[in-house]
Amino acid sequence: MKYHTPAVTLDHVWKQYTIHHEKPTIVETFMNGRTETFVALRNITLSFEEGEKVGIIGPNGSGKTTLLKLIAGITAPTRGTLTARGKIVSLIDLEAGFHTDLTGIENIYLNGMLLGMKKSDIAKKIGRIIRFADIGRFIDAPLFTYSNGMTLRLGFAVAVHADPDIIIIDEQLSVGDHDFRKKSESKLKELFRAGKTIIVVSHELEFLNKNCERIIVLRHGQVVADGPKNLIRAYQKKAL
């Protein structure tokens, strides 16, 4: 399938971090003492078209999650430019945007609006979100009473009902117990069929082979291959 409208464009993007090996003093901070620079991404130029399903693979530490965080707007490039068209929903950090003192219902509204939903749209979908999260009477309890799994389920439920244009997934293909995992996987398959732009990092190569038409291989912060999904076979054979 051919696409013609870019949803996300990265132009000569670099991302680097300063690593402090020991807690620096104020003077050392200004003098750049006891630090080193770690380059997570090097000169990345990519375009993701509207409706594309793209899998990103590579060994641990190759920059995959950093790339997703840049696209999701969680962090900014050190150099280069990144542009995105449409509403982005990230399944990288499902707890982001929640407030522990607010109830589950209040957090649905808060998180939904942070994801770009209108209050009226949340009101129309709140029944579906509550049923999907399936956390029972805790929906009326403050978030600090939740287990980590319950919070993730609530975050996932809000995210997948936010009607995004671009979906960012980082190994978060399912959360919760067996029944919830089946439900979340079914919802993700529905989103894959819905014409959304989906960019996913996963070590589940069979999942990517079934659901993505394009594969990008990262190694040491650089794109070493970008093409059809038969790249997965070459990657498995360590040819990339």
* pLDDT per position as a tens digit, 101-129: 999 999 999 999 988 899 999 999 999 99
| Rounded distance between C-alpha atoms, residue 169 and residue 235, angstroms | 20
Per-residue pLDDT band for 65 (boundaries 50, 70, 90) equals very high
User: What pLDDT is stored for residue 29 in this prediction?
Assistant: 57
pTM of the model: 0.82
Domain-located, residue 177: no
Domain-located, residue 59: yes
Domain-located, residue 22: yes
Residue 28 scores a pLDDT above 80: no
In whole angstroms, how far apart are CA 38 and each of 29, 76, 215, 216, 228? 17, 15, 25, 22, 31
Overall domain count for the chain: 1
Domain-located, residue 34: yes
Residue 127 neighbours by CB under 8 Å, 6+ apart: none
* pLDDT per position as a tens digit, 143-202: 999 998 899 899 999 998 998 899 998 875 556 677 887 888 788 888 888 889 999 998
Domain-located, residue 219: yes
User: For residue 48, what are the domain limits?
Assistant: 6-86+199-236
CATH number of domain containing 210: 3.40.50.300
